[in-house]
Every structure is written in C-alpha cells, then in structure tokens.
Structure 1
Amino acid sequence: MEKQIADHLEGFGLADMFPQRLQRAMRLESYAAGKRLFTQGDTADTICFLVQGKLKVSMLSPEGKRLILAFKSPFDIVGDIEYVRHCPFINTVEAVMDTVVIRIPNELVRAEMADNTAWLQFLLETITHKFEMKSRAMNFNLLYSVDVRVASYLLSMTPEKPVIDSTSLVDMADLIGTSYRHLNRVLQQFERNGWIMKKRGTITLLDRKALLRQAGQNIYE
C-alpha cells in the first residue's frame, strides 16, 4: 500500500511536499459507487486526496433541499476547508463510480505541515478555486434552464456506464434545484427525443452527443 500511495503522490507531483513519516501515516481507501465519504455535519478529522474515480459534492440548504455543488475528478482534495477552519464537514461527498482516495488524519497534518510553505500555498490555491466553483454552483439554478441542468446531471453521473438509478426522482429533482413534476416532464421529452430510455428504475443514456449539445457544456464539472 505504501508503494501505491507513493506512486499516486509522485504521479500528481506531490511526493516532495510531504515528509516520509507523514506519507507512512497515509491510508489508501476505496469506495464503491454511491458510498459516502463524508456527510454534512460530521466531525471533520481527515483530509482526502482524490486519486482515482469521481466524487459528487452536495449540500443541504436551510430549506431542506439538497443541491449539487460540484463533481470532482482526480486530482482533487476534500476536507481542506474544514481542516483550515476546524469545523465539521460543510458538504456531503459521495462516490459516483469506484473511487480511490488517500486519507490523512488532520492532527498529523497539523503537526507536520503547519509551517510548510508549499503546503500552505497549495491549500490557498485549492480553497480559492473551491470558493469560485461554489459561487458558480449557487448561481447555476438562476442561469440555466432545467433541461440544461438535467442533461448535465445525467452526463456527470455516467462517466463509465450509461445507466443511472432513477428510483428516487425526488432526490434527483432536489439535487438539480427543480420540482419532481418538472424533472419528469424534461425526462419524458428527452425520451421522446430518443436521447434516454427509462425502464425498471433506471435511466439509460442512448445519445450522449445530443445531451452534450443540450447541456452546452458539462456545467457541473
């Protein structure tokens, strides 16, 4: 496992940032699609580096609606804002596909890296980027129509296999910031267009190119 971690760090140009004693404390963890790494409000005691797979980041609004903030691909980091602020996890993070992360206990990072200039600069850059992405996500529902959001969501949730679970369209509607009825109407239109097929609790993407055109760009990425 140590060699795998070293290989990942080397591959992403991070090997020289972390001392060997900290690298030996790192753990490689795997998550199947749909499994949560963190839940909003949980105690934040680790930082995770995303080295393989894809993650979905969402938040629960004060009104009780869960909204997508971003999808993350390697290389990325989760838990960094909580590390800096000493606060609980502010978002829910789950795997979209089989995913691998390097997990590091916060207390060890603070002990080893508190005065490391390269690490502090790295945190500054990643957190600044996240606030930019969050600003875009919070304005997303005002800027794009529901059909664009639905197309983007379907594309983002199917990086490997063109099939998505549709057993809870209510949850899907909440995530993209619309009503169940409106979501269902859009999905029905997509099906009439021949872009998707709904069957037995699943949605299968039949025409990815058409959905990409509809989305304009994969906005959630």
Structure 2
Amino acid sequence: MKYILDSKLLALKLHEFNMEKIFDQAKQLPFTLQKYEPDEIILFEGMEAKSLLFLVEGKVKITSSVETGKSLLLRFVQPFSIIGDVELIRDVPVQSQVKAVDPCLLIGLHFNYIKHHEMDNAKFLHTLLEHVSYKLQTCTTASRVNLLASVENKFASYLMSTLSPDSENNFGIEIRTSNMKEIADLLGTTYRHLNRVIHSLSQKNIIERDNSFIRILNWTKLEELSNGIRYK
C-alpha cells in the first residue's frame, strides 16, 4: 500500500463521488489517499480496523474464512463502496478479508475522527445505512448461492461477476488457469470437480480453455447458467 500525497487527485475523487454531500466541508477533512496493487491485501480478517475506507477506483474481492482454513467468496466490490462500516459501528475486528483485484484507489478517514465529529451527521449515517443494508443483501445472496447452487451455476456466476464482455482489459475476456485452485476454494468445491465443470462448459462451447487461460465464448449461455446471480 502507498499513501498518495496528491491534493488535486483527492479533491477530484471527492467531487467525482459527491462526498461533499456526505460530509460538510469535505475538502478540509483529514482524508488519506491510498493505492493498492493487484492481489494486495487491503484488510486481513481479524485485524484491527483503524479507518473507514471509500473505494473510488478499481475492484476488490471480499472473502470469509471457514474452519477448514479455506475461504468462501462473498462478493466483488466496485466504486463507490464503503469498507469498514460494520467494524466502525460494532467496534469489532475486520470481519472479512479484502483484496485488490486490480489497481485500487481508496480514500480513508480515521475512526477516531469519525467518532468525535461525524456520528451526529445525519447525511453520513444515512449513507452508512444504505451501504450496510446493501451489504446484508449481497451476503444473503452469496450464502444462498454457496449453500444451494451447483458448482456449474456458481462458476458461471463467478465468471459473470469478474469478467465483462465490454472490458478493454485482458482480464475482461479471459482468466488465468493458474488461479483455478484458489477459485475452487472460493466456490466451496474441489479443484478436480471444478475441472470437470470447466471441461463440460468447454464441450458446450460456452468457454474455451488452453494451457494458460479460460476465455468466454458464449456470454448469453453463461448468463443463463448464472441465473442472474452476481457476487457483488
């Protein structure tokens, strides 16, 4: 993680996401601007959170550990999103691991400042309520998918959540096969079972697999398999 000392960029992001509507005189608050690289951990599960984070650029992955030591996928998060709201309100350790998927930019505001100056701010509390309720909705969906959906459905949902047919980035059209073991763990299945699902989807010409990548060939069929469910 790197702190970015760029007041113009900070002001630009505050304006872009209308944060002056959340905080009075937002430009004068002690915000920090933080940059994370792909695959960098933003928050570890169980650590002490010190700042509320506002995702203003990039995508992050939220996972939760289980007793086996593996992790289950909860959701992907894109701007504008708030990270650390539960920890702020409940005064508890970080509840889930937060990891950057691609280069991310976050604005931070220290808990101590918020507790002393913003807890009577109705606009701020209303924003927190919106984000916490949406988080509850997505976690409920993720729990239902993890418990009830087939691996084929979950993998389709995963692909539709992470890839975009309109993306200009290579990540938007293909996924590295070296990540399959991690993806299997996140979906609550085995690497062998996931490979069988990938082989089946390849035979149906929904995806194409070579030695290094999986590419999406038929977005319509993939959308049907996902049942419209997204990890986001």
User: What TM-score do the two structures reach when normalised by structure 1?
Assistant: 0.89
Please list, as runs of the form range in 1=range in 2, the aligned pairs for 1:28-39 lying within 5 A after superposition: 28-39=33-44
Matches within 5 A, 1:106-121: 106-121=111-126
Per-residue deviation at 1:140?
Answer: 1.3
CA distance in 2, matches of 1:69, 1:16: 29
> Contact 2:21–2:123 (CA<8 Å) still a contact in 1?
no
What one-letter code is carried by the residue in structure 2 that aligns with 1:87? V
Number of corresponding residues: 221
Task: Give distance in 1, aligned partners of 2:123 and 2:72.
Answer: 33
Distance 1:21 1:112 in 2: 12
Distance 1:122 1:190, change over 3 A: same
Query: Structure 1 residue runs of 4+, over 4 Å off?
Result: 21-24
After alignment, is 39-48 or 4-13 more displaced? 4-13
Please tell me whether the aligned partners of residues 22 and 112 of structure 1 are also in contact (alpha carbons under 8 angstroms): no
Q: Is the 8 A contact 2:63 2:71 kept in 1?
A: yes
Mapped to 2, the partners of 1:168 and 1:108 lie a distance apart of 40
Instruction: Compute the displacement of 1:113 (Å).
Output: 0.7
- Tell me which amino acid in the other structure corresponds to 2:128: L
Q: Please give the per-residue CA displacement for 1:136-178, whole angstroms capped at 9, x wherever unaligned.
A: 2112123322111101112222244322232242321111122
Q: Distance in 2 between matches of 1:91 and 1:136?
A: 16
Percent identity between the two aligned chains: 32
Superposed CA RMSD in Å reads 2.1
* Residue aligning to 1:89: 94
Corresponding residue for residue 9 of structure 1:
14
Q: TM-score, normalised by structure 2?
A: 0.85
Q: Is the 8 A contact 2:53 2:107 kept in 1?
A: yes
**2:192 maps to which of 181, 185, 196:** 181
Q: Please name the residue that 1:124 is paired with.
A: 129
1:15 CA displacement: 0.9
Unpaired segments ≥5 residues, structure 2: 1-5
Distance between the aligned counterparts of 1:148 and 1:11, measured in 2?
36
**Which 5+ residue runs of structure 1 have no aligned equivalent?**
none
Q: Trace 1:197-216 onto structure 2 (pairs within 5 A).
A: 197-216=208-227
CA–CA distance in structure 2, aligned partners of residues 219 and 21 of structure 1: 33
